[in-house]
Amino acid sequence: MKTLKITLISLFTISLVGCKKDTQAINNSKDSLTAKKDSMAVPEIYTEYYGIYMGDFAGKGMITPEYGEEYEGEVYKKISLKINRITKDSVYGQSLVEGNQRPFRGVFNEVSKSFVLDEPGDDKTDGRFEIKLNKDSLTGSWTAFDKSAIKAPTKTLKLTKKEFVYNPNFMLSKDNDLIDWENPKDFVEKYTDEETGKTETFTASKNRVASDAVFKLNASKQKLTEKDLKNLRKLDMEIIKNSVFARHGYSFKKATYRNFFEQTDWYIPVSSNVDNDLSPMEKENVALLNRFIKYAEDKYDSFGR
């Protein structure tokens, strides 16, 4: 019985070793196939067309003037199309509008130098780009897959190739408009007639306005202190903070910040998340600014458009 037991154990051990060798052989075979597949990668073509194309994305929409009633007109947004890869059969890239980043895939017609690019289709904002290349420009149209899901299911594009560069020296210009037109606030004010002495109240709509502090403090180049921030307006600190993200090509969802940075010639949105691109000092400054923004107050004033 003892001899039989030893024999069975030996056979079981041999079986395990055999199975292990078979598994290793299968894995080695898989690795070989993967390596072979990688070595046969589809070649890329027209790499000179790779890059970021940025410009106007226009469609019908309702426009609200400062005075008078709403009317339908052409509403312009900014869009970035980034072409990452072109092969004989496919084009890969992404679109970026108002913080909404969507991948696309399509084809390139070598004869007409035109692209047909489809976003995934699992979001109501997805659609098809049909655009033509002319030197460093792209022009054409975009059509929503679900035309009933959005207000302007068809839009036109006019884009120019841009080169994104991170530069910590980028700042808003003193010629830029520093008024937040997106968040007007109503204030009740009093007016006293000097002749009659009668006092009346009226409602005035005012907008937030930033100070020239936004031209002096650069959170990408200097370590900010509490002393630097304690007397600033809330909008000042929001601009100083978001200048950091704008320099890294962040695509803002909030129109307030888009309006500020789209006035510059250096702002090129390339991603909806740039958190990992910030330097350690920039991250510390953003954290400090967030603390102060939470309790800061705004300066409001009256402006005409």
Higher-confidence residue of 227 and 12: namely 227
3-class DSSP state for residue 233?
Answer: coil
CA angle centred on 78, ends 264 and 186, rounded to 5°: 80
Contacts (Cβ under 8 Å, ≥6 apart) of 24: none
pLDDT at 115 > cutoff 70: yes
pLDDT, position 66: 66
In 3-state terms the chain splits into helix, strand, coil percentages (rounded to 5) of 30, 35, 35
The pair of three-digit structure tokens given for residue 266, joined into one six-digit string:
């250096």
Please say whether the beta carbons of 96 and 113 come within 8 A.
Answer: no
pLDDT, position 161: 98
User: Considering the chain, what is the average pLDDT of its residues?
Assistant: 87
pTM: 0.80
Q: How far is CA 117 from CA 28, 45, 130, 248, in A?
A: 39, 17, 7, 26
**pLDDT tens readout for residues 245-288:** 999 999 999 999 999 999 999 999 999 999 999 999 999 999 99
Please say whether the beta carbons of 290 and 296 come within 8 A.
Answer: no
The pair of three-digit structure tokens given for residue 25, joined into one six-digit string:
């052989």
Higher-confidence residue of 288 and 195: namely 288
pLDDT at 129 > cutoff 80: yes
pLDDT, position 5: 44
Tell me the torsion sign for CA atoms 106, 108, 109, 112: positive
In angstroms, rounded to a whole number, what is the distance separating the alpha carbons of residues 232 and 239?
11
Tally Cβ neighbours within 10 Å of residue 118. Answer: 16
pLDDT at 12 > cutoff 80: no
Domain ranges (residues) in the chain: 47-162, 179-301
Closest CA to 125 of 149, 103, 106, 93: 149
Which of 3-7, 21-25, 71-75, 212-216 shows the lowest mean pLDDT across its residues? 3-7
In angstroms, rounded to a whole number, what is the distance separating the alpha carbons of residues 305 and 170?
27
Tally Cβ neighbours within 10 Å of residue 33. Answer: 10
CA trace torsion 182, 185, 190, 194 (10° rounding): -10
Instruction: Specify the CATH number of the domain 47-162.
Output: 2.40.128
